[in-house]
Chains A and B, each alone.
Chain A
Amino acid sequence: MGVIEIRGLVKRFGSTVALDGLDLVVEQGEIHGFLGPNGAGKSTTLRILLGLLRADGGSARVLGGDPWADAAQLHRRLAYVPGDVTLWPGLTGGEVIDLLGRLRGGLDERRRAELVERFDLDPRRRSSTYSKGNRQKVALVAALASDVELLLLDEPTSGLDPLMEAQFREVVRAGSTDGRTVLLSSHILSEVEHLCDRVSIIRAGRTVETGTLSELRHLTRTQLDVELAVPVPTELVSAPGVHDARLDGHRLTCQVDDGALGDVLARLSPLGIRSLASSPPTLEELFLRHYDRGGGREPRP
Chain B
Amino acid sequence: MNGLGALVRLTLRRNRWFYLAWVLALGAMVPATAAAYETLVGGLAGDGALDLMAANPTMRAMLGPPTDLTTPGGFTVWRVGTFVATAAGVMGLLGVVRGTRADEEAGRTELLRSGVVGRHAPLTAAVVVGLAACALLGLVVTAGMSAVGEPVVGSLALGLGVALVAASFVGVGALTAQLTSSARAARGLGLAVLLAAYLLRAVADAAPQHSVTRGLAWLSPVQWMALARPYAGERWVVLLLPAALTALLVAAAFALESRRDHGSGLWTVRPGPDRARPGLLSTTGLAWRLQRGVVAGWLAGLAVLALAMGSLSGTFDQMVREVPQLAVVLQRLGQGTDRLVDAFFVALLGLVAVLVAVVGAQLWERLGAEEERGHAELLLATAVPRTRLALSHLAVAVVGSLVLLVAFAVLLAVPESVSRGDAGPVGSTVGAALALAPGSLLVVGLAVLLHGWAPRLGWLVWVVIAWSFFVVWVGSLLGLPGWLVSLTPWDPLPALPVEPMDWPAVLLVTGAAAALMALGVWGYRRRDLRLP
Contacts and interface: CB of A to CB of B under 8 A. Distances in A.
B271 interface: yes
Contacts, number: 119
A88 B383 contact: no
A92 B274 CA distance: 7
B529 A100 contact: no
Interface stretch (B278-286, B436-444, B504-512): B278-286
B528 A128 contact: no
Contacts of A206: none
A84 interface: yes
Contact of B528 (A53, A72, A79): A53
Nearest to B385: A72
A86 B383 contact: no
B275 A94 contact: yes
15 contacts: A52-B377, A52-B380, A52-B529, A72-B384, A84-B374, A85-B378, A88-B286, A88-B290, A91-B276, A92-B271, A98-B280, A103-B282, A103-B283, A104-B383, A128-B269
Contacts of B420: none
Contacts of B283: 103
Interface in B88-122: 105
B102 to A, nearest CB: 12
Interface of A: 47, 50-54, 71-73, 75-76, 79-80, 82, 84-92, 94-96, 98-100, 102-105, 122-126, 128-129, 139, 152
A233 B381 CA distance: 61
B184 A50 contact: no
Interface of B: 105, 181-182, 184, 269, 271-276, 280-283, 286, 289-290, 373-375, 377-386, 526-529, 531-532
A91 B378 CA distance: 14
A75 B383 contact: yes
A125 B381 contact: no
Contact of A128 (B181, B276, B373): B181
B184 A102 contact: no
Contact of A103 (B374, B379, B529): B379
Given A54-B528, A89-B182, A102 B375 contact: no
A80 B529 CA distance: 16
Given A102-B281, A124-B271, A128-B181, A82 B385 contact: no
B269 A73 contact: no
B532 A103 contact: no
Nearest to B271: A124
Contact of A76 (B275, B375, B383, B532): B383
Nearest to A48: B528
Given A52-B377, A88-B290, A95 B383 contact: no
Contacts of A54: 526-528
A126 B271 contact: yes
A170 to B, nearest CB: 24
Contacts of A79: 381
B269 A129 contact: yes
A99 B280 contact: yes
Contacts of A126: 269, 271-272
A183 B272 CA distance: 34
Nearest to A103: B382
Contacts of B280: 91, 95, 98-99
A100 B378 contact: yes
B272 A100 contact: no
A91 B289 contact: yes
A78 to B, nearest CB: 8
Contacts of B386: 71
Q: Identify which of B105, B286, B381, B529 gathers the most chain A CB atoms within 10 Å of its CB.
A: B381
A198 B532 CA distance: 30
Nearest to B277: A95
Contact of A95 (B105, B272, B527, B528): B272
B272 A86 contact: no
A128 B263 CA distance: 11
A105 B385 CA distance: 13
Given A95-B273, A124-B272, A139 B385 contact: no
Contact of A100 (B282, B382, B531, B532): B382
